[in-house]
A and B are shown apart, each in its own frame.
Chain A
């Protein structure tokens, strides 16, 4: 997976977020403050513009630029959290020109650590971590089992989707939904849902 692949990933994310903007906002309206779709749409549109302007030469530089743009443009909790996730991935990849699935698994793991360091969320708290952590595990397992890149990305995307759906019965313990206490039960977490979209876009980039 080269710089072009990661640029395609960001494009796929931007169009998935644009298509699901209202859906994400409605999920957020149920247990948060109804701004998640609009914020991510603004952020990934800005990330696309930043990439067009700067044309980074390595996957690492590209991901750091995406992360910095998200931190600068999105606001809320999702800006720093997603921004940190992409920056951590980029920093781990360094100057690598061609990223193997194993290396991508390491990068996603760095993203997860960054998100948890900043947001202090554990699995089961009904946050984006509930989609990201199983995706990281699924990707690492797929690499161990020697699956092809496409299959490995597919496994990661499927695990993220499953993780997002699994937040529905949970009571939120972090983020704005935690204010609702038991009333947060019965709703999919919008952050987990958008993380599943982002991992789904990774699969889409792989099958381009």
Chain B
């Protein structure tokens, strides 16, 4: 498998050097692997910190900036960051009003963020956490690690980030973050597996006529394998899974997200089907986003995320944002 890399052990730091060179609005601590806003922390503002394995770009570093995150910690590829990184980010993002950790629900992310929150607390930083677990493909039961955090992470970071920018207190920012997660659902489909640089070959095998349904964002296989078919039918499978879990209605925020290897042309084909499905259910995609935002390296496929909006959430979604990957209104 061909990769544009200098060596498998330098993938993350080499990319961080690129992010630093490309975006002067960011301050990149390459050694500790933390990406800050150039002006962080802002006194009196709640700091937003997220992080997770690398390979999901632009998540999370691409969402550092005005109206979104104050700091992001990239781990190794598909590996959660370590507590040292998270503590560095938390201290650097704290403007005296406390810090919100936005954590995707994976065992490793949860454990490392918990340790970092505890140790940051010891150093006098008030930390609250919100767990993102929007993926309906995983049964949420005692018999799994619980639902994964996927596309809704972007919604949580954007909307909580907008509220934090207004000077709202930590408890309020945490409340809105949790509300966004509670109102969001996702489902993902892969046409091809992804290839982790250190592994050098695809994480799983998928025949030319097969797709994986219910995938996460770490190249892991999904719940089931099914024959490949028209985009219309695949979109329906994803939307049925979401609608069965939380019936769609009213004003809805919709993300049709590429997994990294799928052309925008195809993502718009999927979006058309998603919009038609929503209309059938009496829901309206009043706000939407189509593109590669929460990716899984070079995987072909997509995920769809919906969030049932309220007036407050719509207003915060529309608020100005200025990050490398998301930018409007400013």
Partner of A81, one of B77, B111, B216, B223: B111
We find that the number of chain A residues with CB closer than 8 angstroms to chain B is 34
Chain A residues, CB < 8 A from B328 = none
- A74 adjacent to B145 (CB under 8 Å): no
Over the window 48-78 of chain B, the binary record of Cβ atoms lying under 8 Å from chain A Cβ atoms (1 yes, 0 no) is: 0000010000000000000000000001111
A-B pairs, 5 with minimum CB distance: A76-B108, A77-B108, A33-B218, A80-B111, A178-B144
Over the window 169-205 of chain A, the binary record of Cβ atoms lying under 8 Å from chain B Cβ atoms (1 yes, 0 no) is: 0000111101111010000000000000000000000
Having A35-B196, A71-B115, A179-B148, one finds 9 other A-B pairs with CB under 8 Å, namely: A33-B218, A34-B196, A35-B79, A72-B84, A76-B80, A77-B107, A79-B82, A176-B145, A181-B139
List residues of A (38-81) whose CB comes within 8 Å of B's CBs.
38-39, 42, 71-81
Q: Is A19 interfacial (CB-CB < 8 Å)?
A: no
Partner of A71, one of B77, B83, B144: B83
Count class of interface residues, chain B? 35 or more
In the complex where A179-B138, A179-B145 touch, is A33 in contact with B111 (Cβ < 8 A)? Answer: no
Chain A binder among B152-160, B197-205, B237-245, B318-326 = B197-205
B50 to A: closest C-beta gap in Å: 15
List residues of A (139-158) whose CB comes within 8 Å of B's CBs.
none
- A75 adjacent to B76 (CB under 8 Å): yes
List residues of B (117-161) whose CB comes within 8 Å of A's CBs.
137-139, 142-145, 148
A135 to B: closest C-beta gap in Å: 22
Nearest to A30 among chain B residues (CB) is: B204
Chain B residues, CB < 8 A from A176 = 106-107, 145, 218, 220
Chain A interfacial positions (CB closer than 8 Å to B): 25-26, 29-35, 38-39, 42, 71-81, 118-119, 173-176, 178-181, 183
- A72 adjacent to B82 (CB under 8 Å): yes
- B220 adjacent to A80 (CB under 8 Å): no
Nearest to B110 among chain A residues (CB) is: A77
- B216 adjacent to A179 (CB under 8 Å): yes
A105 to B: closest C-beta gap in Å: 26
- B216 adjacent to A75 (CB under 8 Å): no
Q: Is B112 interfacial (CB-CB < 8 Å)?
A: yes
- B112 adjacent to A32 (CB under 8 Å): no
Partner of A33, one of B8, B138, B139, B196: B196
Q: Is B258 interfacial (CB-CB < 8 Å)?
A: no
List residues of B (1-30) whose CB comes within 8 Å of A's CBs.
8
B227 to A: closest C-beta gap in Å: 17
Chain A residues, CB < 8 A from B82 = 71-75, 79
List residues of B (217-264) whose CB comes within 8 Å of A's CBs.
218-221, 223
- B220 adjacent to A76 (CB under 8 Å): no
In the complex where A33-B219, A34-B196, A181-B223 touch, is A75 in contact with B203 (Cβ < 8 A)? Answer: no
- A33 adjacent to B145 (CB under 8 Å): no
Q: Is B81 interfacial (CB-CB < 8 Å)?
A: yes
Nearest to B215 among chain A residues (CB) is: A179
Nearest to A29 among chain B residues (CB) is: B203
Partner of A80, one of B8, B84, B112, B139: B112
Interface centre among A25, A80, A119, A183 (most CB of B within 10 A): A80
